[in-house]
């Protein structure tokens, strides 16, 4: 079978066995090739065409693809013992928990390791209920915390929520970035406020500088917990190890996933302060997972944290991000009819467009030029740019040149988009 046949057969299988609508979307975007191999910032399709990965699996590939240190650690663990007996002591899980305590801010100490971002959020919400004995939760409009029932109850987008009502009761959603709205929603019955420090899927929304500090103060006043969901922002993406580090606050629970697996393994975790963990110490089997904290994923995460520290990935994200945001802002000045705003922090960047149709157009144009980008899940008007944190400057310049070309084309037909 030749490569074209493999691609068309794959698309057929999407159509017949995955979801015909997804197959249609691939066809509509002109995406009729199969991804095959990846390394660093580059993904190659089955024909060997190269793409610069500026989507990064929605933030998964902070270390790029197949970082040699992560691959080596996973190989080593694979040859030793990939999954835990769950009876004897599991060294990689304990080592990772120690590392998470070291890199998370303040006195965040105890971790539960799971398999995904949504699972990390589930665990955090359960712990908040357990610790406080309260049921009310406050989350933000347009937030994204995952799509399992608990996480979806926190997620602030009706399109994803409505078909599954009733979700968990007790959730109030307040406008993101508005600390007075948090103040008005929290009371003595609130278990937790859950916030992304920078909204990712909501369209890369950076809140006012004092927002998280104000939310922290409100939680302290009412005895509610502050959960910061750093599944997307964590581990260097925004230019600091955690986005909360920009704001100098310590949440009661922090969630991590995505980049934690070093771009090689799926993994997620929630990490809490000792007092909050007390209920799990009294009853450690209240929250468990068969595959959670498995040695293979933990080996990847341990290596990933080592690379993030050794290669100063957070500060590289800060400086490369400053340059890239600056260049894209210049483009916005040239083409205000296409780009309404460029915003972000570090290498978590959003290009807000004037029209929804421009999102799909720009995405297809960029892919044609060998750059993978996509719009955010909650907001199709925002193109998200999240390349590996160590992306080479020559590739950054290639991305900027491709955007110039694509935005110029969009400007010519903006009326029709
Ligand atoms: C902030 C945030 N939390 C949670 C999730 C859910 O993670 P997962 O898709 O691994 O369940 C995401 C995914 O995009 C996210 O961005």
Question: According to the model, what pLDDT value does residue 326 have?
Answer: 98
Closest atom of ligand 1 to 148 CA is 11
Asked whether 233 lines ligand 1 (CB < 6 A), one says no
> Residues 235, 207, 153, CA angle at the centre, nearest 5°?
75
Asked whether 266 lines ligand 1 (CB < 6 A), one says no
**Residue 125, token pair as written in the block:** 């919400």
Question: According to the model, what pLDDT value does residue 1 have?
Answer: 86
Q: Residue 51's closest CA among 61, 65, 41?
A: 41
Cα(204) to centroid(ligand 1), Å: 14
Percentages (nearest 5) of helix, strand, coil residues in the chain: 45, 15, 35
Give per-residue pLDDT as tens, 67-124.
999 999 999 999 999 999 999 999 999 999 999 999 999 999 999 999 999 999 999 9
Residues of the chain with pLDDT > 90, as a percent, come to: 93
Cα(80) to centroid(ligand 1), Å: 30
Asked whether 121 lines ligand 1 (CB < 6 A), one says yes
Average pLDDT of the segment spanning 337-359: 96
- Of the candidates 258, 279, 361, 403, the residue annotated as catalytic is 258
Question: According to the model, what pLDDT value does residue 29 have?
Answer: 77
Is-catalytic flag, 135? no
Asked whether 122 lines ligand 1 (CB < 6 A), one says no
Asked whether 90 lines ligand 1 (CB < 6 A), one says no
Whether residue 130 has pLDDT greater than 90: yes
Give per-residue pLDDT as tens, 199-229.
999 999 999 999 999 999 999 999 999 999 9
- Residue 255 contacts residue 268 (beta carbons within 8 Å): yes
Cα(346) to centroid(ligand 1), Å: 19
Asked whether 227 lines ligand 1 (CB < 6 A), one says no
Site to probe by mutation for ligand 1, drawn from 61, 62, 117 as the one with most ligand atoms within 8 Å of Cβ, is: 117
Whether residue 375 has pLDDT greater than 90: no
Average pLDDT of the segment spanning 390-395: 97
Q: Where in the chain is the domain with CATH 3.40.640.10?
A: 68-310
**Residue 411, token pair as written in the block:** 């400007």
Question: According to the model, what pLDDT value does residue 379 have?
Answer: 86
Instruction: For domain 68-310, say whether CATH 3.40.640.10 is its number.
Output: yes
Average pLDDT of the segment spanning 317-330: 98
Cα(145) to centroid(ligand 1), Å: 5
Question: According to the model, what pLDDT value does residue 416 have?
Answer: 87
- Residue 389 contacts residue 62 (beta carbons within 8 Å): yes
Residues of the chain with pLDDT > 70, as a percent, come to: 100
Query: What sign has the CA pseudo-torsion 108, 114, 115, 118?
Result: negative
Asked whether 270 lines ligand 1 (CB < 6 A), one says no
Cα-Cα-Cα-Cα dihedral of 148, 389, 262, 403, to 10°?
A: 60
- Residue 246 contacts residue 220 (beta carbons within 8 Å): no
Q: Would you place residue 301 in the very low, low, confident or very high pLDDT band (cuts 50, 70, 90)?
A: very high
Q: Where in the chain is the domain with CATH 3.90.1150.10?
A: 33-66+312-416
**131 Cβ neighbours under 8 A, 6+ residues apart:** 191, 225, 275, 276, 278, 279
Three-state DSSP class for 88?
A: coil
Cis amide bond preceding 166, omega within 30: yes
**Residue 303, token pair as written in the block:** 């290596």
Is-catalytic flag, 229? yes
Q: Would you place residue 327 in the very low, low, confident or very high pLDDT band (cuts 50, 70, 90)?
A: very high
Average pLDDT of the segment spanning 335-342: 97
Paired with 254 in beta bridges are 228, 271
Give per-residue pLDDT as tens, 145-173.
999 999 999 999 999 999 999 999 999 99
Cα(335) to centroid(ligand 1), Å: 32
Closest atom of ligand 1 to 233 CA is 1
Q: What is the pLDDT of the chain when averaged over all its residues?
A: 96
Determine the longest span between alpha carbons in the chain, in angstroms.
66
Q: State the architecture of 33-66+312-416 in CATH terms.
A: Alpha-Beta Complex (3.90)
User: pTM value?
Assistant: 0.97
Is-catalytic flag, 258? yes
Give per-residue pLDDT as tens, 222-251.
999 999 999 999 999 999 999 999 999 999
Give per-residue pLDDT as tens, 29-67.
778 889 999 999 999 999 999 999 999 889 999 999 999
- Residue 218 contacts residue 179 (beta carbons within 8 Å): yes
Cα separation, 411 vs 337, in Å, equals 7
Q: Residue 171's closest CA among 197, 204, 199, 149?
A: 149
Q: Would you place residue 377 in the very low, low, confident or very high pLDDT band (cuts 50, 70, 90)?
A: confident
């Amino acid at each position: 079978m030749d490569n074209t046949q493999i691609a068309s057969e794959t698309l057929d299988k999407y159509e017949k066995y995955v979801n015909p609508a997804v197959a249609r979307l691939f066809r509509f975007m002109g995406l009729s090739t199969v991804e095959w191999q990846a390394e660093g910032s580059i993904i190659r399709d089955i024909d060997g065409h190269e793409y610069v990965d500026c989507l990064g699996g929605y933030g998964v590939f902070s270390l790029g693809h197949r970082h040699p240190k992560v691959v080596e650690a996973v190989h080593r663990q694979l040859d030793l013992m990939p999954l835990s007996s769950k009876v004897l002591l599991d060294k990689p899980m304990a080592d990772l928990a120690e590392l998470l305590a070291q890199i998370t801010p303040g006195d965040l100490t105890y971790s539960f390791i799971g398999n995904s971002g949504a699972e990390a959020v589930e665990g955090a919400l359960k712990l908040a209920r357990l610790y406080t004995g309260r049921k009310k939760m406050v989350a933000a409009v347009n937030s994204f915390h995952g799509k399992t029932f608990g996480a979806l109850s926190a997620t602030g987008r009706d399109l994803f929520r409505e078909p599954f009502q009733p979700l968990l009761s007790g959730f109030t959603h307040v406008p993101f970035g508005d600390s007075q709205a948090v103040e008005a929603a929290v009371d003595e019955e609130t278990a937790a406020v859950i916030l992304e420090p920078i909204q990712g899927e909501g369209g890369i929304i950076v809140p006012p500088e004092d927002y998280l500090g104000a939310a922290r103060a409100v939680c302290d006043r009412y005895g509610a917990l502050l959960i910061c969901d750093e599944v997307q922002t964590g581990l260097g993406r925004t230019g600091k190890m955690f986005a909360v580090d920009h704001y100098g606050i310590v949440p009661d629970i922090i969630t991590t996933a995505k980049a934690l697996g070093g771009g090689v393994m799926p993994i997620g975790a929630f990490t809490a302060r000792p007092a909050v963990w007390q209920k799990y110490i009294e009853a450690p089997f209240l929250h468990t997972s068969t595959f959670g904290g498995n040695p293979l994923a933990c080996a990847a995460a341990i290596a990933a944290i080592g690379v993030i520290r050794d290669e100063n990935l957070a500060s590289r994200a800060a400086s490369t991000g400053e340059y890239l945001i600056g260049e894209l802002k210049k483009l916005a000045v040239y083409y205000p009819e296409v780009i309404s705003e460029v915003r972000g922090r570090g290498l978590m960047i959003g290009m807000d467009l004037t029209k929804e149709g421009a999102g799909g157009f720009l995405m297809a144009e960029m892919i044609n030029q060998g750059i993978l980008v996509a719009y955010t899940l909650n907001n199709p008007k925002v193109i998200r740019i999240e390349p590996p944190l160590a992306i080479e400057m020559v590739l950054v310049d290639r991305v900027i040149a491709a955007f110039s070309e694509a935005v110029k084309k969009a400007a010519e037909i903006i009326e029709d988009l």
